[in-house]
Amino acid sequence: MTRIPSATADHRIPADRRWRLGETPWLGETPGDPRMRVIIDNDFSGDPDDLYQLVHHVLSPSVDIRAVICSHLRPGDPFDGGSDTAENAVRVATDVFSRMGLESRELIVKGATSQLADTVTPQDSAAARRIIAEALRDDVTTPLFYCAGGGLTDLASALLIEPRIADRMTLIWIGGLEHDGLAYPPANAMPVEYNLLIDVDAGRVVFGGSEIAIWQVPRNIYRQCLVSDLELRVRVRDTGRLGAHLYDEVRAVNERAIEERRGPGETYALGDSPLVLLTALQSLFEPDGSSSHYVLRPAPELTADGTYRQVAGARTMRVYTLVDTRLMFEDFFLKLRAFSDWQESRS
């Protein structure tokens, strides 16, 4: 239930505190060349954990962010029941950029407004076309990671329109059910995992209908990404205006839970943050997300009810079994502090 700005607000960031991606004035140095390209895809009008992921990613100089895809939620989603959640996501992402003084707004792209009708018909959109154009570039050699924290409509559409892009990128996806032999579902779990439920057919296209490399962070693992409310108060809320805004978005969810007699809760899952951990925070030598653990499994097909069906001869995918929350969250807290100290200082 990220609050949707009524209009693009002027947060009155001074001219000398505005910047573009590729610049890191809060570090007092010029970063080297990025190690990888990243397309971010998230439903920014939904669970506010995606705001933390977005801020963390844009404060990470080792990644070259090529697009921020603003994707839709399912109809009637409890976080945003609006008629055009992709447009709401654009407004939220634009507001975050404005609060940060980040002027690279041309990277924000609206995704499809609804899920696929079936597994063969794409939702053609500016987002799908941007994905294809970036994947087919032949003037760069850096690897391309598609970092998805919600549904997969726009990626699936791009794959249906131009299948050649499948072997030109790696998908890192926050979503999907637990795998047999690796974890059990939580008590009273949704039968179809939340992010997959946004567009089950899109998941079926990506898993069983394409050859794209997949690094999956399933439900049992993104639920590991817990921070305490006291951590958020001290390390986020008390870190400048940006931190206060991020905390207030999580606090609004907690207040709603209290009204519904499901709270208060002392923790919150920032479940989209592994998208940053597995890209920006890769090891220097033999680059990889080496502080996290995964197993290799044959990529299953996804059924219409969101479960896995094994397929003989399927390509291998990564299924993460542990993520390094210490590195992930401490890096976020410190980057937020360094940025906010610079933003709120005066030259």
pLDDT for residue 323: 98
Mean pLDDT over the full length of the chain: 95
Rounded average pLDDT over 7-19: 86
pLDDT over 70 for what percent of the chain? Answer: 99
**What confidence tier does 8 reach under pLDDT thresholds 50, 70, 90?**
low
Q: Is the pLDDT of residue 224 over 80?
A: yes
Q: Is residue 10 part of a domain?
A: no
pLDDT for residue 68: 98
**What confidence tier does 7 reach under pLDDT thresholds 50, 70, 90?**
low
9 neighbors 98 (Cβ within 8 angstroms): yes
Number of structural domains the chain divides into: 1
Q: In terms of Cα–Cα distance, which of 343, 219, 330, 308 is closest to 272?
A: 219
Rounded average pLDDT over 63-88: 96
pLDDT over 90 for what percent of the chain? Answer: 92
pLDDT for residue 203: 98
Identify the helix (H) or strand (E) that includes residue 251.
helix 240-259
**Identity of the highest mean pLDDT range in 2-6, 28-32, 61-65:** 61-65
pLDDT tens per residue, range 304-332: 999 999 999 999 999 999 999 999 999 99
pLDDT for residue 347: 54
Q: Is residue 48 part of a domain?
A: yes
pLDDT for residue 296: 98
pLDDT tens per residue, range 120-159: 999 999 999 999 999 999 999 999 999 999 999 999 999 9
Q: Is residue 236 part of a domain?
A: no
221 neighbors 273 (Cβ within 8 angstroms): no
Q: Is the pLDDT of residue 1 over 90?
A: no
pLDDT for residue 215: 98
Q: Is residue 298 part of a domain?
A: yes
CATH number at residue 305: 3.90.245.10
Q: Is residue 160 part of a domain?
A: yes
| 3 state SS of 5 | coil
Instruction: Measure Cα distances from 42 to 10, 46, 174, 324, 332 in Å.
Output: 24, 9, 10, 21, 18
Q: Is the pLDDT of residue 28 over 90?
A: no
Domain residue limits at 86: 34-225+270-325
Distance CA 243, CA 345 (A): 15
Length of the chain: 347
Supply the DSSP string of 33-46, one letter for each residue.
Answer: --SEEEEEEE-TTS
108 neighbors 93 (Cβ within 8 angstroms): yes
**What confidence tier does 247 reach under pLDDT thresholds 50, 70, 90?**
very high
Identify the helix (H) or strand (E) that includes residue 301.
strand 301-302
Q: Is residue 115 part of a domain?
A: yes
Instruction: Measure Cα distances from 309 to 299, 303, 306 in Å.
Output: 9, 7, 10
Q: Is residue 16 part of a domain?
A: no
Rounded average pLDDT over 251-272: 92
Phi, psi values for residue 318, rounded to 5°: -90, 135
Q: Is the pLDDT of residue 346 over 90?
A: no
pLDDT for residue 65: 98
pLDDT for residue 253: 94
pLDDT tens per residue, range 164-221: 999 999 999 999 999 999 999 999 999 999 999 999 999 999 999 889 999 999 999 9
Q: In terms of Cα–Cα distance, which of 186, 195, 188 is closest to 153?
A: 195
Q: Is residue 182 part of a domain?
A: yes
**What confidence tier does 23 reach under pLDDT thresholds 50, 70, 90?**
very high
Rounded average pLDDT over 49-71: 98
